[in-house]
């Protein structure tokens, strides 16, 4: 597995969630890189987070179409 790209890390660091900002970080870029690395692991190995339930649906399966 490759490491997150610089552009992806910079984008994630710029968009840290409020709770991530509140927790604080001496290095938001390193924090973002680690968040992305862990996310990539979970995305590539659906059993990486055994306590989590991952459900994959298409939009057609989740949205009730409007009545004509």
pLDDT digit string, tens, across residues 22-53: 887 788 888 888 888 888 887 777 666 667 66
Per the domain annotation, does 63 fall within a domain? no
In this predicted structure, what is the pLDDT of residue 48? Answer: 61
Is 53 part of any domain?
A: no
In total, how many domains does the chain have?
1
Q: Is the pLDDT of residue 2 over 70?
A: no
Q: Is the dihedral of CA 27, 15, 50, 46 positive or negative?
A: negative
Instruction: Evaluate whether residue 17 is within a structural domain.
Output: yes
Full domain range(s) for residue 23: 1-46
pLDDT tens column, 4-23 = 778 888 888 888 788 877 88
Closest CA to 10 of 25, 28, 24: 28
What is the predicted pLDDT for the residue at 36? 86
Asked whether residue 54 is domain-assigned, the answer is: no
């Amino acid at each position: 597995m490759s490491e997150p790209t610089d552009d992806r890390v910079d984008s994630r660091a710029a968009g840290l969630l409020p709770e991530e900002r509140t927790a604080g970080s001496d290095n938001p870029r390193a924090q973002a890189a680690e968040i992305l690395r862990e996310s990539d692991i979970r995305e590539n190995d659906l059993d990486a987070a055994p306590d989590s339930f991952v459900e994959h649906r298409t939009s057609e399966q989740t949205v009730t179409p409007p009545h004509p």
